[in-house]
Amino acid sequence: MRSHSILVCAATFLACATASGQSPAVSPQPSDSVLPDSIRTLVGRLDLERYKATIKGLTQFGDRRQGTARNRAAVDWIEAQLKSYGCSNTERIKYEYTGRQLRLPGDTTRPRPRPAATGPRNPQKGFRGPTGVNTDSLRQADTALRRINAEPDTPGPREEVFCTKIGRTHPEEMYIIGGHMDGHGFGAAANDDGSGTAIVMELARIFSAPDVETDRSIRFALWNNEETGLNGARAYIAERQALQGKEDPAGSGKYPEPKWLGMIQHDMMMFDHGAPGPDGKVSPEQRREADVNIEFAGSSKMAAEAAKLAWFFRQMNDRYATDYPANVGDRMSNTDSGPFQDLIPAISLRENERLRDIGTGWDPQWHQPTDVYSTYSDKDFRLGLNAAQTTLAAVAHLAGIRLKR
């Protein structure tokens, strides 16, 4: 970490706020009224089979590439699921995307390049596995999945869905929990990012239960167009940043866009099988040292506040996650928390470090035809479930959870 003040956060979120000499920007302090037993009850409502079923449901739409009918059908399905959980106040962000993701035969235009990662690149250490995006549909051996993924993307209107748990005493403040529902590579985007989308949906289900109250609001956002440059998250900020904390209508006690207290992204949650070997291949088994990576952007304007949030999440992992520990790193990159990182404390949860590990071949399914449900074992799914336990416990504390008797 960058300084001793950040290391202090490993011990306690509150000590970190005190050591900084500032009021904690990530939120009002975790509510003293939150009972640990209530947190444990909520964590116990997370179920491995339900998590797996949600991922499998998402894979019926193939890779869910933006700009296709399969992507639009997946947005509709996600919205219907959220409503069925009781998170019925769903809304959509609507925006235009004029770029192309893949070039068709005879098309002389070029796909819009994805923004490059910022910050210095580290020299390659050890062995590197192959990376890249598969653009060849014939590499998908499953002919049914090949048919689902056949439609190319086209420029035009885009939509993404979110719903909100309204806070009881501070509806004007909220945390944003996100995952991106689009994918590519002619697989089924089971891990990238069905695994993160399913976490957001499962947390929406649990927080929307009739016996759950929170002091502050929580928004559950399923971003679109992540794979083309975080365009869905950017559209959300462009449309709604200026609306934060404004009561509408005046005197109603309703806040269409509560003040953002923090943003927590979930992107590629399941596959931690270790580094590639000399042959460039990764072990087929989940490694014993598997963990949940909690990252913040160390070069961002909100780095100190984001670090506090990340360390608090690790503390909640220590208390409430059942199988896998968490590590904190400062190199968050290439996911939908990025557009938020200079505005509010923003962190991402992942299976591995994005720049050091995923970007050097630690996940051979990344953007490949093999990113399908059947590739993963229960150990893989359980790593994602432990990330859900971590986020649920942390946000329950920060938002001020209460279980009605």
The pLDDT, as a whole number, for residue 181 is: 98
Distance CA 337, CA 214 (A): 23
Q: Is the pLDDT score of 8 beyond 60? A: no
Q: What is the pLDDT of residue 162?
A: 98
CA distance 74 to 78: 6
The answer to the question of residue 211 being in a domain is: yes
Write the DSSP assignment of 306-363 as a string of letters.
HHHHHHHHHHHHHHH-SS--EEEESB--SSTTGGGTTTS-EEEEESS-TTTTGGGTS-
* pLDDT (tens digit per residue) in 170-214: 999 999 999 999 999 999 999 999 999 999 999 999 999 999 999
Establish if 362 belongs to a structural domain: yes
pLDDT tens digits, 220-250:
999 999 999 999 999 999 999 999 999 999 9
Number of structural domains found in the chain? 1
pLDDT at 103: 75
The tokens describing 243, both together, are 């609306």
What CA–CA distances, in Å, run from 135 to 28, 33, 372?
46, 52, 16
Distance set, CA 358 to CA 21, 134, 333, 362 (Å): 36, 16, 11, 5
Number of Cβ atoms within 10 Å of the Cβ of 92: 13
Q: Is residue 92 part of a domain?
A: yes
As a whole number, mean pLDDT of residues 44-68 equals 98
Read off the pLDDT of each residue in 151-174 and give the average, rounded to a whole number: 98
Structure token pair of residue 258:
């509560």
Is 124 part of any domain? no
Supply 404's token pair.
């009605």
Residue 303 pLDDT > 70:
yes
Q: Which tokens sit at 118? A: 């910022």
The pLDDT, as a whole number, for residue 152 is: 96
Centroid of chain to Cα 220: 10
Mean pLDDT for the stretch of residues 266-271: 98
d(CA 208, CA 88) in angstroms, rounded, equals 9
**126 — pLDDT class (breaks 50, 70, 90):** confident
3-state class (DSSP) for residue 90: coil
Decide if 132 is inside a domain.
no
Residue 101 corresponds to which tokens in the numbers above? 């993701």
Number of helices (H) and strands (E), helices first, in the chain? 10, 10
Q: What is the mean pLDDT of the chain?
A: 90
- DSSP string of 120-152, one letter each residue: PPPPP-S----------GGG---HHHHHHT-SP
CATH number assigned to the domain comprising residue 18: 3.40.630.10
CA distance 378 to 81: 23
Average pLDDT over residues 303-322: 98
Tell me the DSSP string of 206-266.
HHTSTTEEESEEEEEEEES--TTTSHHHHHHHHHHGGGTT--SSTTS---SSPEEEEEEEE
Task: Give the type of residue at 141.
Answer: A
| Residue 160 covered by a domain | yes
Residue 27 pLDDT: 44
Query: In a 3-state reduction of DSSP, which class is residue 274?
Result: coil
Percent of the chain predicted with pLDDT > 70: 86
Outline where DSSP puts E strands in 267-395: 292-295, 326-329, 346-350
Residue 79 in domain: yes
Q: Which residues contact 163 (CB under 8 A, 6 or more apart)?
A: 82, 83, 87, 88, 89, 90, 91, 204, 208, 219, 220
Q: Domain range for residue 374? A: 4-104+137-403
Residue 130 domain-assigned (yes or no): no
pTM over 0.85, yes/no:
yes
